Chain A
Amino acid sequence: MQVNTARFGLLDIEEDKVISMPQGLLGFPEKRFILLTPPNLGPFCWLQAVENPNLAFVVTDAKNYSPDCGYRLTEEECLALELGEDSAVIFLLIVTMAADPKDITVNLRGPIVLNPERLIARQVVIEGDKYPIRQPFFAPPGGTATPKKRAKEKAAA
């Protein structure tokens, strides 16, 4: 299957890598995405809409950023994502890019929850001061100078 993207040209993607987001991302109608993890992008991946070349998000595995975000899912969300008790789950944080890296932020309030086995994902809204919508990327909580850089391949479903 070929996916046309505005930023990266035409990509050849296996159909079984497509992530379905039945509810889309808040504010966007697109329901099918692919997660691409180019090795040269460090902790960043990008989430590309299959049907809209222009729509793509820079995302990062929450584990790269803060190992313990403490997100809890509701029963209804687990059901929708087909998550069992022992299912793996990946939380992707959407990154808001900026011309000055200091201004780059991650959205802890609206993580994308991905079931990496079933490839179903959903954006959830988590309330609470602990989860700001714009957390500076280069100053994560805990005072480390840079986000942790492990598991960059892991987000590949």
Chain B
Amino acid sequence: MLVLTRKNGEAITVGDQIRIRVLDVKGTQVRLGIEAPDDMRIYREEIYLQVQEENRQAAEWNLADLEKAVHQLSGHGKE
């Protein structure tokens, strides 16, 4: 991993389209400003990890539960 030290107001560039600047440092929190192409997906790492975790949970399913859900749907369908 590349490790760089930056002061408040300083930035790093990634390729020629992305610039990440340290806007503020308060205690343990760092505020970053990110300039990147509009259509690039940028998100907090937790969001990515949440989806990963949800995938893991979604992979644990059994047929009985699925059948129950289908049954529930067909019951409502007759209303």
Q: Is the interface of A mostly helix, strand, loop or mixed?
A: loop
* Per-residue contact bits, chain B 32-58, to A (CB 8 Å; 1 contact, 0 not): 000000011101000110111111111
Which of A75, A98, A138 is B65 in contact with, Cβ under 8 Å?
A: A98
Known: A109-B47, A109-B51, A133-B54. A43 touches B59 (CB 8 A): no
Known: A94-B58, A127-B43, A146-B77. A26 touches B48 (CB 8 A): yes
Which of A57, A75, A109, A123 is B50 in contact with, Cβ under 8 Å?
A: A109
Q: Are B58 and A149 in contact (CB under 8 A)?
A: no
How many A residues, CB 8 Å from partner?
40
Q: Are B51 and A97 in contact (CB under 8 A)?
A: no
Q: Does B6 contact A (CB under 8 A)?
A: no
Q: Are B55 and A25 in contact (CB under 8 A)?
A: yes
Q: Are B51 and A133 in contact (CB under 8 A)?
A: yes
Interface residues of A in 98-128 (CB under 8 A from B): 98-99, 101, 104, 107, 109-110, 123-125, 127
Q: Are B43 and A125 in contact (CB under 8 A)?
A: yes
* Per-residue contact bits, chain A 75-104, to B (CB 8 Å; 1 contact, 0 not): 110000000000000000011111101001
Q: Does B29 contact A (CB under 8 A)?
A: no
Q: Does A55 contact B (CB under 8 A)?
A: yes
Q: Which of these binds chain A: B8-16, B19-27, B66-74?
A: B66-74
Q: Which residue of B lies closest to A111 (CB)?
A: B51
How many angstroms from the CA of A87 to the CA of B68 in the assembled complex?
A: 36
**Closest Cβ–Cβ distance, residue B3 to chain A (whole Å):** 26
